[in-house]
A and B are shown apart, each in its own frame.
Chain A
Amino acid sequence: GAVVSQHPSWVICKSGTSVKIECRSLDFQATTMFWYRQFPKQSLMLMATSNEGSKATYEQGVEKDKFLINHASLTLSTLTVTSAHPEDSSFYICSARLQGLGLGEQYFGPGTRLTVT
């Protein structure tokens, strides 16, 4: 089956630094990738949608200058949390959509736990 990986699986950084999270589709080309954020006991909240070679579309309330998304190839998308602060600590999940799948069908990565101290 289609596999999506994320790296790193967890990261601790100091306040004010930047952190990059990678999302890769290992055995397929993803036309669209999505980034979600999940707080404890909360649902996944979509942050942005990215298509290869074009700018990401951010959801309302998500700061595009803080959460930089790059989708340079059909198998790789990156999320950079710039000037991280403790309130950015969260679980970040990416997913990928394969062309031809039904609406709502996505392949998810295992997530990245970010802790900002």
Chain B
Amino acid sequence: GDSVTQMEGPVTLSEEAFLTINCTYTATGYPSLFWYVQYPGEGLQLLLKATKADDKGSNKGFEATYRKETTSFHLEKGSVQVSDSAVYFCALVSGGSNYKLTFGKGTLLTVNP
């Protein structure tokens, strides 16, 4: 079955530091890939997505590139802010999962001023 593996947290960074959260996946066929973010006390929100190989999703300074050869979709941001503190979930949808979302375990990011 489909699965998503993302780096264990928590991750603690200082403001303006570079962020990478690793995500790799196993899926049937050609999945669509997502990063969802959950701010404290709120529901998950779609941060960015990529639907085919070599696509780059981007939003709010975050980027992730769909790498089919390494089955990865790592999340990056060049300069994090305190307001980026949240839990980040990597996820996929594929025909093998009957088009249901499969999530990673989530990575807690804390950014200190």
Query: Which residues of A line the B interface, CB within 8 A?
Result: 4, 6, 34, 41-44, 46, 49, 93, 95, 102-111
Most B CB within 10 A of own CB, among A102, A103, A109: A103
Considering the chains assembled together, what is the distance between the CA atoms of A34 and B100 in angstroms?
10
Name the distance in Å between A18's Cβ and chain B's nearest Cβ: 24
- Indicate which residue in A42, A43, A46, A93 contacts B4 across the interface (CB closer than 8 Å): A43
Q: A43-B103, A43-B105 are in contact. Are A104 and B42 (CB under 8 A)?
A: no
Tell me if B109 counts as interface (CB < 8 A to partner A). Answer: no
Most B CB within 10 A of own CB, among A42, A44, A46: A44
List of A residues within 8 angstroms of B38 by Cβ:
108
List of A residues within 8 angstroms of B45 by Cβ:
108
Contact stretch, chosen from B11-19, B60-68, B76-84, B91-99:
B91-99
Considering the chains assembled together, what is the distance between the CA atoms of A91 and B79 in angstroms?
32
Ordered by A's residue number, 6 sampled pairs between the chains whose C-beta atoms are within 8 Å are A34-B100, A41-B105, A43-B89, A44-B89, A44-B101, A108-B45
Name the distance in Å between B36's Cβ and chain A's nearest Cβ: 8
Q: A105-B46, A110-B43 are in contact. Are A49 and B100 (CB under 8 A)?
A: yes
